[in-house]
């Protein structure tokens, strides 16, 4: 037996054979990106008239200058549908070819039924099934994991993954701890099988419910249904203990990003871009420092949209798509409510 193994390894056919096996492994790659941002802008100057804050404080503490706000009475699905339609158009894909639609969100149109099911129907994906995924600001990273696994298994070929949140529907605009941070937006990607070794390479995902205390909406779930009292106590709004979330976010997002580099033998020179969750510029800077990468590799649009929760990472893809080249090594990193966090290593699969 050993004799045959050694003979085979030394034969000139071994390397091409090995290459074929490695390359024939199916990976899931992003093949198109689309986005939607509401027209209405809420800038720091306007927030100064709403709560006790200043443009200077918000800019220096977070890096945010303005955010977008979706009109009242319109749900998250509206933004998700527009982003998904752009993806179909750009990739020249018929909606009937889509197998699955995932919407990562903490602000679904309704608790029941799934926003993704509505999105799939509205874009004409009659052969798809859809469901929502709730992992707060890490929703898109977790969604990448789920969608990629389905594609790698060979069970499904075309999956639309959308990160979408209407944060203005859960933010208390008299609470300066939260209202200065969040904004509304959506972005979508199409994921398809790749046999060139591109797409999602590796991921490091974690969660820890220690975060329940620091970032939550207390009322409206099974534990504490909404009553007049919970509304009077404003428990239906998002609560954040910013200082504690910041502490956990800085260390975990930076460590996850470093770990994914280390595990894949990537040096700072090998990394082409960091696409981080856009929660606070200081958290992003700390992550980049831990990774040892220079500012030009760190992609940010936090200044324009604030924290759009599950939408931040795909919104960065949409804004910087033209920069990416086939084969670029991209690290994605996120941290959010739950707590949930992680980092992924992606090889970009196309030139725009």
Count of residues that interact with ligand UT7, criterion CB under 6 A? 20
Catalytic residue among 44, 118, 137, 179: 137
The residue among 261, 308, 327 whose CA lies nearest residue 288 is 261
Whether residue 184 contacts residue 20, with contact meaning beta carbons closer than 8 Å, is answered with no
Q: How many angstroms separate the Cα of 249 from the Cα of each of 86, 137, 175, 181, 338?
A: 32, 11, 21, 15, 12
Residues 161/143, Cβ–Cβ less than 8 Å: yes
Residue 141 contacts residue 205 (beta carbons within 8 Å): yes
| Binding of ligand UT7 by 57 (CB under 6 A) | yes
Q: 68-107 mask for ligand UT7 (x: CB under 6 A)?
A: ----------------------------------------
Is 301 a binding residue for ligand UT7 by CB under 6 A? The answer is: no
Q: How far apart are CA 329 and CA 103, in angstroms?
A: 25
Q: How far is the CB of 52 from ligand UT7 (least distance, A)?
A: 6
Neighbours of 117 (CB within 10 A): 17
Q: How far is the CB of 319 from ligand UT7 (least distance, A)?
A: 18
Q: Interhelix angle for 55-62 vs 281-291, to 10°?
A: 20
Tokens of 282: 């200081």
Contact stretch for ligand UT7 (CB under 6 A) within 34-42, 75-83, 175-183, 225-233: 175-183
Question: Binding to ligand UT7 (CB under 6 A): which residues in 246-285?
Answer: 246, 249, 279-280, 283
Per CB under 6 A, 236 contacts ligand UT7 = no
Pick 131 or 173: Cβ nearer ligand UT7: 173
Active site residue 307: yes
Residue 176 interacting with ligand UT7 (CB under 6 A): yes
Min CB(211)–ligand UT7 separation in Å: 9
Q: For ligand UT7, which residue of 242, 285, 329, 350 counts as binding (CB under 6 A)? A: 242
Stated as kind and residue range, the H or E segment containing 118 is helix 115-122
Annotated catalytic residue 127: no
**Cα–Cα distance between 79 and 203 in angstroms, integer?**
28
Site of interaction with ligand UT7 (CB under 6 A) = 53, 57, 61-62, 137, 176-177, 180-181, 242-243, 245-246, 249, 279-280, 283, 307, 335-336
């Amino acid at each position: 037996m050993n004799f045959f193994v050694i003979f085979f390894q030394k034969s000139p056919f071994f390397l091409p054979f090995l290459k074929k096996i490695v390359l024939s492994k199916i990976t899931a790659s992003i093949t198109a990106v689309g986005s939607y941002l509401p027209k209405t802008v809420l800038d720091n100057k306007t927030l100064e008239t709403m709560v006790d804050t200043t443009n200077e404080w918000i800019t220096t503490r977070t890096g945010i200058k303005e955010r977008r706000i979706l009109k009242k009475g319109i749900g998250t699905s509206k933004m998700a549908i527009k982003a998904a339609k752009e993806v179909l158009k750009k990739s020249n894909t018929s909606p009937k070819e889509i197998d699955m639609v995932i919407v990562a969100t903490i602000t679904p149109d309704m608790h029941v039924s799934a926003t993704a099911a509505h999105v799939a129907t509205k874009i004409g994906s009659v052969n798809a099934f859809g469901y929502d995924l709730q992992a707060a600001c890490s929703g898109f990273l977790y969604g990448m994991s789920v969608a990629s696994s389905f594609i790698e298994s060979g069970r499904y070929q075309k999956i639309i993954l959308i990160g979408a949140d209407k944060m203005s529907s859960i933010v208390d605009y008299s609470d300066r701890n939260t209202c200065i941070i969040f904004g509304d937006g959506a972005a979508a990607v199409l994921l398809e099988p790749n046999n060139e070794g591109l797409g999602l390479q590796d991921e490091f995902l974690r969660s820890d419910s220690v975060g329940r205390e620091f970032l939550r909406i207390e009322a409206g779930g099974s534990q504490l249904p909404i009553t007049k009292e919970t509304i009077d106590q404003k428990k239906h709004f998002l609560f954040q203990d910013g200082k504690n979330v910041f502490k956990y976010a800085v260390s975990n997002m930076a460590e996850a990003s470093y770990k994914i580099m280390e595990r894949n033998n990537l040096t700072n020179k090998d990394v082409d871009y960091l696409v981080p969750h856009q929660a606070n510029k200081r958290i992003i800077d700390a992550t980049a420092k831990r990774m040892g990468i220079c500012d030009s590799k760190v992609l940010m649009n936090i200044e324009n949209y604030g924290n759009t929760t599950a939408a931040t990472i795909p919104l960065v893809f949409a804004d910087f798509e033209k920069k990416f080249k086939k084969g670029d090594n991209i690290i994605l990193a996120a941290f959010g409510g739950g707590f949930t966090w992680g980092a992924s290593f992606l090889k970009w699969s196309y030139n725009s």
